[in-house]
Amino acid sequence: MVMDAPDITRALTRIAHEILERNKGPRDLVLLGIPSRGVPLARRIAEKISAVEGVEVPVGSLDVTMYRDDLRSGPVRALLHTEIPGGGIEGKTVVLVDDVLFSGRTIRAALDALTEVGRPAAVQLAVLVDRGHRELPIRADFVGKNLPTSLVERVRVSLTGVDDVDAVTITGLVS
């Protein structure tokens, strides 16, 4: 296990504080989680921001399935849920939240999907784990843990509410 529940909690607390510092508070922030595990991470970050600032930051989800560049090369993917908060994203600072940043292709798809929803003032990226091996020039603004890996390793994020436990693990074979 690379990260346990307390490690994840500390990382998300730090990310929440860094988001507030960079944006000079919670004004005009919207957190959009990328399904599936980015959504509960976005909710947890929003809860931490609310605990510090006393205001609720809108949280939603952004399905990137139809914007992926590997749709034709893999098995059929089910569409996931997109939920944009009531105030929308126009003119707001959108923080995309995902569990693992790897090649950058999911985030590229998220940026494409975001253009269908509106035009934010800025887009930032928060990830729990950055494992390297970028194929596109994409960099996270907020990182819980940098975790250098080999290409044959797989990083698995488990979160309570989706899984049985909060943990980040590495397995030896990509499935």
**What pLDDT score was predicted for residue 77?**
54
pLDDT given for residue 70 in this prediction? 72
Distances (CA, A) of 31 to 46, 53, 72: 7, 15, 29
**Contact (Cβ atoms closer than 8 angstroms) between residue 89 and residue 25:** no
Which pLDDT score is estimated for 117?
A: 94
Nearest to 49 by CA among 80, 77, 14, 1: 14
Exposure b/e, 81-95, CB count within 10 A at least 16 = b: ebebbeeebeebbbb
How confident is the model at residue 71, as a pLDDT?
63
Single-letter amino acid code for the residue at 87: G
pLDDT in tens, 30-56: 999 999 899 999 999 999 999 999 999
The vertex-129 CA angle with 127 and 131, nearest 5°, equals 120
Q: In sequence order, what DSSP letters do the residues of 141-170 get, joined into one string?
A: SEEEEE----TT-EEEEE-BTTBSS-EEEE
Is residue 129 pLDDT above 70, yes or no? yes
Tell me the mean pLDDT in the region 145-168. Answer: 95
Phi, psi of 22 (to 5 degrees): -65, -35
pLDDT of residue 99: 98
* Residue pLDDT, tens place only, 114-128: 999 999 999 999 999
Residue 68 pLDDT level (bands cut at 50, 70, 90): confident
Domain range list for the chain: 5-67+82-149
62 vs 65: CA distance, rounded Å: 9
* pLDDT bucket at 94, cuts 50 / 70 / 90: very high
Residue 107: is its pLDDT beyond 80? Answer: yes
Per DSSP bridges, beta strands 154-158 and 167-171 are antiparallel
- Alpha-helical segments (H) within 23-149: 38-53, 105-117
**Rg for the chain (alpha carbons), in Å?**
15
CA angle 163, 81, 114 (to 5 degrees): 120
Query: At a CB cut-off of 8 Å and minimum separation 6, what does 123 contact?
Result: 93, 94, 95, 96, 111, 114
pLDDT given for residue 69 in this prediction: 82
Q: Please provide the average confidence, as pLDDT, over all residues in the chain.
A: 93
CATH class of the region 5-67+82-149: alpha beta
